[in-house]
Amino acid sequence: MHGEPERGCLQERRPACLVAAALALTCLGAACRPKATSAPTPPAKVENARKETELATVTLTEKAEARLGMKVAAVERRRIERVRTFGGEIVVPKGRSIQVSAPVAGTILPAGTITAGATVRKGQVIVRLAALPAAGELAAADVRLEAVRKKVERAARLVETGAGSQRSLEEARAELELAEAAAKAGRGGRRNGAMAIESPQAGVIRELLVGPGQSVAAGALLFQVDAVETLWVRVPVYVGELGAIDRARDATVRPLSAPVGTSGLEAQPVAAPPSADPIAATSDLYFQIANEAGGPLRPGEKVDVSLGLVGADEERLVLPWSAVIHDINGGTWVYERRAPHVFARRRVEVAQVVGPWAVLGRGPTPGTPVVSVGAAEIFGTEFGNGK
């Protein structure tokens, strides 16, 4: 009997218990849920950013284009020879540098204004040499001079005693003058009939080792002359790249002062004594190049040399090198014609320059018109420096 009231009490409290359990579960779920967090602050904030495809456009009048002499060319795909550029040095071919020595001992005489570095022709007189007589000739002249002096003394005594004639004395004195002059000329060097030492070939005086008034021994080096109408180009190539070089193809040589994109001078492969640098791990290739007197190349000059690579030429995306401009950071750009008289700057990636062409690694699609003459003036106009 006692159990009945207790069970009834539990039944009466069940709704309240269920409500309490529901509230406990709700509070527990709220505690387990993560709290909402605010978005992190970015480390940098960029305002007014513009994509390169939305750069400023430049609109020119027809009169302005005519004044600039503007020209437009299309980007195209062209078959370009595969080349690689190395540093080279202009050298004198083996056997074309001649040293000239004194044939006999003598004294150097003035022979004009020839100096080291002067361009000379074959047969041109470089120095004059007054040959000195041999020691035996000098001794003979001294003995003869002493004999003539004694002869004059005897003739003078005979005239005093009346046993000789005045004519004999005068003849003896004249002979003495001749003997003295011969001895003096022998000691000072005979200037009459001096040897003319000529250049054995046309070229450039590399060294002039003597000057006027200098005494030289037989066999002493006087000067050196280098032939320059034909020169060699020595190109050190890393041995790991030798296999990629087509040694049968001509090379293109450009002086360092030549603007990029200008055509160079053709040089032909030539057989030369092998040479290498084991420290730098390079082996030398030689090419022959024509260089007329007074030409642009000089022995010892550093040049750029473009060598052909093994394999067929490849088709690449190209545009005229004159169309490429550089910004202050070294970036390369072209001006694309978007509409008549409307131009927009576009970035390009130049892989190499071959002759008048800039070979692109990345750039506009073929057929895109770009400014080939007048791009620099548009660049100045865009940034406020143009007229």
C-alpha span between 163 and 154 (Å, rounded): 11
User: Is the separation of the CB atoms in 220 and 116 below 8 Å?
Assistant: no
Number of H helices, E strands in the chain: 5, 25
**pLDDT-derived band of residue 347, with 50, 70 and 90 as boundaries?**
very high
d(CA 347, CA 326): 10
- Sequence-ordered list of residues with C-beta below 8 angstroms from that of 216, at least 6 positions apart, any chain: 102, 105, 106, 107, 108, 129, 210, 222
Average pLDDT over residues 291-317: 83
Whether residue 293 is predicted with pLDDT greater than 80 in this model: the reply is: no
Tell me, what DSSP letter sits at residue 240? G
The model's pLDDT over 41-74, given as tens digits with 9 standing for 90+, comes to 777 776 766 666 567 788 988 888 888 889 999 9
CA pair distance 289, 93, nearest whole angstrom: 10
Report the distance separating Cα 164 and Cα 154, nearest Å: 9
List the structure tokens of 146.
Answer: 């002493």
What is the per-residue pLDDT across 180-235, written as a single tens digit (0 to 9) for each?
Answer: 776 776 665 444 457 888 899 888 898 899 988 888 888 899 999 998 888 999 99
Helix boundaries (H) for the chain: 3-32, 62-68, 135-161, 166-188, 375-382
What does the alpha-carbon distance between residue 60 and residue 341 come to, in Å, rounded to a whole number? Answer: 5
Please say if the pLDDT value at position 29 is more than 80. Answer: no
**pLDDT value of position 218:** 85
pLDDT of residue 289: 92
CA distance between the termini of the chain:
116
List b or e across 361-382, with b for residues whose CB sees 16 or more CB atoms inside 10 angstroms. Answer: eebbeeebebbbebbebbbebb
In this predicted structure, what is the pLDDT of residue 87? 94
Which pLDDT tens digit goes with each residue over 237-289?
Answer: 999 999 999 999 999 998 888 877 677 889 999 988 899 999 999 999 999 99
371-375: average pLDDT: 91
Q: Is the pLDDT of residue 27 over 80?
A: no
**Positive or negative torsion for Cα 86, 89, 90, 94:** negative
Spatial neighbors of 14 by CB under 8 A, at least 6 apart, are none
Count other C-beta atoms under 10 Å from residue 269's C-beta.
Answer: 16
3-state SS assignment for residue 232: strand
Please determine, for residue 1, whether its predicted confidence score (pLDDT) is greater than 50: no
Q: What does the pLDDT read at residue 9?
A: 47
pLDDT of 304: 92
For all residues of the chain together, what is the average pLDDT?
81
The mean pLDDT of 161-179, rounded to a whole number, is 77
Listed residue (232, 224, 276, 277) closest to 251, CA to CA: 232
How much is the CA Rg of the chain, to the nearest whole Å?
Answer: 48
Rounded-to-integer distance, Cα 218 and Cα 205, Å: 21
Can you tell me the distance from the alpha carbon of 30 to that of 15, in angstroms, rounded to the nearest whole number? 23
> Cα separation of 354 and 72, whole Å?
20
Helices (H), 162-263: 166-188
Beta bridge partners of 251: 267
